Structures are given as C-alpha cells and as structure tokens.
Structure 1
Amino acid sequence: MKRGLVGGLAARPGVFRFSASALGLLLLAGGALADPVFPTGLGIGLTPPEGMTASAKFSGFEDEKTGAAILIVEMPPEAYAQIEKGLSDDALGKQGVSVAKRENFPVKDGKGFLVSGMQRTGALTLQKWMLVGALPKTTVLVTVQVPSSASGAYSDAVVRRALESVTYRSAGSLEEQMAALPFTLGDRAGFRVLRVLAGNSLLMTDGPKDVVRGGEQPIFIIAAGQGAIPGTLEQDRFARQALSGLAGVQAAEIKRAAGSERDRVSWHEIEAVGVDPVTKARLFVVQAIRFGANDYIRMVGMVREKDRAAVAARFARIRDGVAPR
C-alpha cells in the first residue's frame, strides 16, 4: 500500500486540494478498547475494534489478515466545506462508490457527517464508510474499507462504534510534530513550515499568508510514502502519474523529466508549467522523488511562473536537505 503526498497531494482550488478520492483505506473488528489510540504524529485518534493495530504503512489502523483498514487524514479547518462538496453522490459514483446512506454524524467537540456505501474495484467488493469531522483546529477524514469477505467481522455497528470514538488532542508543537516525521528537513531556504499533515507530510511557504491561493506565495510540500517502485521505467511512470494527480494544477505541460542516481539513491525529477484552476495564473511546478528500497519521499514546489527564476534554486536547496530519518 502506498501512502501518497498529503492525502494524495491534491490541491485545494487556489492552493492544494485535499482530495477525498485519493484516500484509500480503513477499518475493523470486534470489541472496542477502552481508550483512543493516536497514530504517530496525529492529533486525531479513535478506539479501534479488537484485533486492529496501528499501521506502520499509513496513518491509521489495519487488520493484515482480512485486508480491512482505517485511514485517518488531518486537514486544515477550512477544508471541511470543500470535502463535504467533494463527497457528493455524483463525485463518488465516478470513483465506483455506490452511496447507500448520508447522515449527520457529530464527533466529540465538533460536527460531522458520514457517507456509507459499496465500492467495486475489479472483482473486489468493498464496504465503505467515510466520516468527515470538523474538530478544534482541524478537519479530519476517516475512511473505513472492508472487503466483502470480512463483512461478518466488521458489521455496520462495529464500524460506527469505532467512528463514534474519534477524538482530538493537541498534536504538540510544530517542532515536536516535525520530529515524528519519517524524514528530516535540512536547509529551509527561507521558507517556514505551515503545518504537519497526517504524520507523514509537511507544507512550507514563503510569505505572510497561511492560506495560499493561485500561487501568490511559493509553496513546498514534502511527504513520505511506502512501497518499492522498482526500475527506471516504473519510477518514471509513477512520477508522471503522481504529477497528473496534482489537482491544483490544470493542463500541466511537462518541460523536463529525468531520472538520476545520487550517492547510490535513485531520484526522479519533473519540471512542468500549468494553470491554476481558479485564478488561471500560470504556475511553475517542480516535483522530485527520492526512491528508497521500500519507501519514497516526494517533494513538490509550486510558484507563479513569473517568479520561477527567483524561487527555483531555493526549491532545490530544500530538496537537497531532505533525508529519510
């Protein structure tokens, strides 16, 4: 299972959208534990059903025997309205999800809604629950996915009991959250860290605004993922597909794409130019991926094309200072 950038590193209109469609997995089993469990680096936890354990592959819980899992993704507070819109029946239908029920589902200290249904992926049928909650200082998306072969163990009542236990706590200082990331950050090149996301990603910018629209300030996103991507051809294909999923950039035209090896480590880098879907500003985008044996670190920098010359070298300085922990 691959864990991608910022829940898919898709961009919010005018910034970077946290795309519900990019979120992949989910939940699980019998009796509940007494206390919420908080995956590393997250301010969101829940009481997993009996038999579920915290995943080392993504932010959430999994049952490796059945293939059922819970994925927890934290987003900025303002993402709630956008995710609510993005989880429409029509949008989910395009992803192969047949919605059976949509309902209010309050979470502790906040509001929320729950969408449940079925998804067919080839020969596989999945039961699916998607909870979106507006909690103090954050929006959370909890996705539950259960193969039909495991539906007896993971009934609707079991899943709801786990979702009802969703709890928020302070995730600690920004530096503490960064210390829990699976990578280290070296030269920040004058950028500041805005937010740590999902325990595996961070967002940086240069400028006074915390919400960046249309590339008005340069942004740089770093995220760790799991999964071996073997061979030059597969790495090139993976990189191009990752870039095409960057929803904050339309009509991306790749200007340069090349693999390389540095200190016995495989890299792939793409430079592209696209258009912001809201402001229609032309954007310069650089994506660099550092491939490990069983994981990768993906980095994406975006800025208005007219500011490319002033920022591109700084993007490279950040990139060169990132290393696995």
Structure 2
Amino acid sequence: MRRLLCALAGSLLLLFAPVAAMAQVVFPNQGLIGIAPPPGMSEIPGVAGLEDREAKAAILMLEMPPAAYADIIRTFEPEALQSKGVTIEQRKDVALPGGEKGLLLVGFQSVGPVALKKWILLVGGKDLTAMVTVQFPETASAKYPDAVIEAALKTVTLRVPPSQEELLARLPFTIGDLEGYRVLKVLGGTAVLLAKVKGGEGADSKAVDVAGQPFFIISAVRGEIREDDRESLAKRAISSVPGVKELRVERGGPLRIGGQPGFELVGKALDQQSGKPVKVAQWLRFGRTGYLRMVGVAPEAMFGSEFDAMRALRDGIELR
C-alpha cells in the first residue's frame, strides 16, 4: 500500500509540475500579449517571443489591429495553409483567461527535409488581434509534449494598450512639445514612432490613417562613438531608414544639437509602398555613453512646411 501511495504521489507531482511552472504570465518585449511559458523557454531580447535554443523551439507573438481577425480567419482554411507547406491536423476553439475566444490550429510544417511541429493560436480581442505561433522540430517533442504546449497556449492573456503617457514613461529620453505629432508605438523600450495622423488630436487610435503622412522616429543607442566615425555612422544609419527606398543624400554635415555635437543629413527617397517621392531628415546627437538618432520623413510636397516642426521636435528631446 505504501508503495502504491508513493507511486501515485509521484505521478501527481509529474502531472501538476508543468502547471505550477507555468503559473507566471510574462509579456515579452513589453508587448500586449502574455503567456505562461512552458519550462525551458526564456524571453528573446528585443523580440515579442520566447525560445529554447538548445531544442530549437520558439514561441512568437504578433500584434495586429482588431479588424485583422476576420481577414486572417479567411486565410486559415486548410487549403490556403497547405499551399504554404502547413498541414493542419486539428482545429478547435479555446477559451482564454480574459474571456476571449481563440482559434487553435495544430499540425506541422515541412521546411525542406525537416518537419516542424506547429501550433497557431489566433485571438480576437477588443483592442487587438493576437497571433501566437509555437514551433520546433519533432525531435523536441519529448521535452515539449502536446499537452504542455496546449496548456501554455490556454494561458495567453491580452492586456489593455498603455496610454500615451505610459508609453513615453518607458523611454530612456523625454520629449518636449510633440509639435502636432502623436505616439503610435514604443519599440523595444528604446525607440518611439510618432506620426501626424488624419483626424487630429482625439481621433480614435484604432482608426488613424498614417498613409502619406509625416512620421518621426526617435531612438537611443548605447556606445561611445569617436569623432572621426560620426559621419560614416550617420551615412550608414540613413541608408536603413524604414519605409523608404532609393534614398539619395542631398546635403549634410556636423552641427550642435542642444549644446552637444551632432550630425545632420537630408535626402530624397521614394515611399516603399506607394513609390511617391518623400524627403528624409536624420539627426544624430552624440553624448558620452551613446547617442540619440532622430529621423523625420514626409512627402516631398509637405517637407518644407514640416521641416521646422521636425527640428523643434528634435530640439526638445533629452536623455533621462
């Protein structure tokens, strides 16, 4: 009898150990999607996801607008996924802790000679649509059995998007006057995307239209930059401005920004999606332990009137 009780106790410990280990919900990359990950997985720095490098296992999270849910559901038909190499074996509804309903797809994906086990959870929330994808080689199945992965996915939690003040408080710098720009997204806790949106102040953030509107990116970068490296750094940086193509620098040079050394570059480019002409201004402001990078992009026809606002926005930024 004693042996039987010990065996039962051991079985119960094994049964409930994963549940206990998954009690803490984490929100990778300070995002809006949280999960209590299975043991062995840790957050990926700067990415909305978790991984177990040794097992080549990963959980990735994608935030999308609420309206995206209906569109994605239509693309989740087995035939459409099969065309991308994804074979769905199970499709079921799941209930989540916040009351949202989720659609869970379970199957595998062929990537060359490798078969990856795959789970895709799609959640339609009030403030966002969430997609959580789990995948790993079949060789990792012993470490991550189906029951453990599904238990983790059923802990997926969506939180309310932070207010503009909360977003700005996360940054390593402060912004003075926004000059009519509006916070759209904080990126990794070190950068912020601002834009002038149609509808102006008070417009519903879910319905803002940023197409063809000026935008401004501010980021803080650690690392001391030597004076003779500043120009080459500025030229490399402006070549990677997101959302534009075929960029050509027109003018630039060193200048003082807020009493500190800086470097300005201004160029022409084309919008990545529409192909329409835009102008780009980039400023680097150098400090002792790092630098601020500030980039403004506007349609060419609007750039003249926006340039002063961009410079005023630039001058109101200070490291904390």
Q: Structure 2 length as normaliser, TM-score?
A: 0.62
In the alignment, which residue of structure 1 is the partner of 2:51?
62
Matched, 1:309 2:300: no
Q: CA deviation at 1:48?
A: 0.9
3-state SS of paired residue (2:148): helix
Question: How far did residue 69 of structure 1 move?
Answer: 3.1
The structure showing larger relative contact order (alpha-carbon pairs under 8 Å, at least 6 residues apart) is 1
Counterpart contact for 1:291–1:297, Cα < 8 Å:
yes
Please tell me the residue identity of whatever aligns with 2:214.
Answer: P
CA contact (8 A) 1:49 1:162 kept: yes
3-state secondary structure, aligned to 2:109: strand
- The letter for the 1-side match of 2:109 is M
Cα pair distance change 1:319/1:136, threshold 3 Å: same
Q: What does the per-residue CA deviation read over 1:130-156, in whole Å, with 9 as the maximum and x for residues that have no partner?
A: 433221212223233435553432244
Q: Is 1:43 the equivalent of 2:57?
A: no
Provide the secondary structure at the position in 2 that maps to 1:284: strand
Question: Which residue number corresponds to residue 163 of structure 2?
Answer: 173
In the other structure, the counterpart of 1:4 is none
**Aligned pair in 2 of structure 1 residues 317, 220: CA closer, same or farther (>3 Å)?**
same
1:133 aligns with 2:123: yes
Spell out, residue by residue over 1:219-262, the C-alpha distance to the aligned partner (whole angstroms, 9 max, x if none): 234567999xxx9989967864x44x63xx5xx22122989899
1:154 is matched by which residue type in structure 2? Y
> What displacement does 1:298 show?
6.9
How far off its partner does 1:87 sit?
7.8
Task: Give the counterpart of 2:215 among 199, 212, 219.
Answer: 219
Larger Rg: 2
* Structure 1 residues 254 and 192: alpha-carbon distance in aligned structure 2, compared to 1, 3 A threshold: closer
Equivalent residue number for residue 22 of structure 1: none
How do residues 238-317 of structure 1 correspond to structure 2 at under 5 angstroms? 240=239, 242-243=240-241, 246=243, 252-256=245-249, 271-275=267-271, 277=273, 281-286=276-281, 301-317=296-312
Question: Offset of 1:281 from its aligned partner?
Answer: 4.8
Which runs of 5 or more structure 2 residues have no equivalent in the other structure? 1-16, 224-228
Give TM-score scaled by structure 1 length.
0.61
Q: 1:117, 1:127 within 8 Å by CA — same for their partners in 2?
A: yes
Q: What amino acid is aligned across from residue 269 of structure 2 in structure 1? A: V
Q: Does 1:100 align with 2:81?
A: no
Could you tell me which of 98, 101, 109 is aligned with 1:118? 109
Q: Which residue in 1 is equivalent to 2:134?
A: 144
**Alpha-carbon shift at residue 59 of structure 1 (Å):** 3.3
Aligned match of 1:34: 23
Please list the CA deviations of residues 35-55 of structure 1 after superposition, one character each: whole Å capped at 9, or x if unmatched: 423346333211111233344
AA partner of residue 36 (structure 1): V
User: Does structure 2 retain, via aligned residues, the 8 Å contact 1:276–1:283?
Assistant: no
Q: Deviations over 1:171-208 (max 9, x none)?
A: 54332233234x32424441343343565454322351
1:171–1:177 CA contact under 8 A, matched in 2: no
Structure 1 gaps, min length 5:
1-28
Residue 139 to residue 315, structure 1, CA distance change in 2 (3 Å): farther
Q: Secondary structure at the match of 1:158?
A: helix
Write the letter of the residue equivalent to 1:212. Answer: D
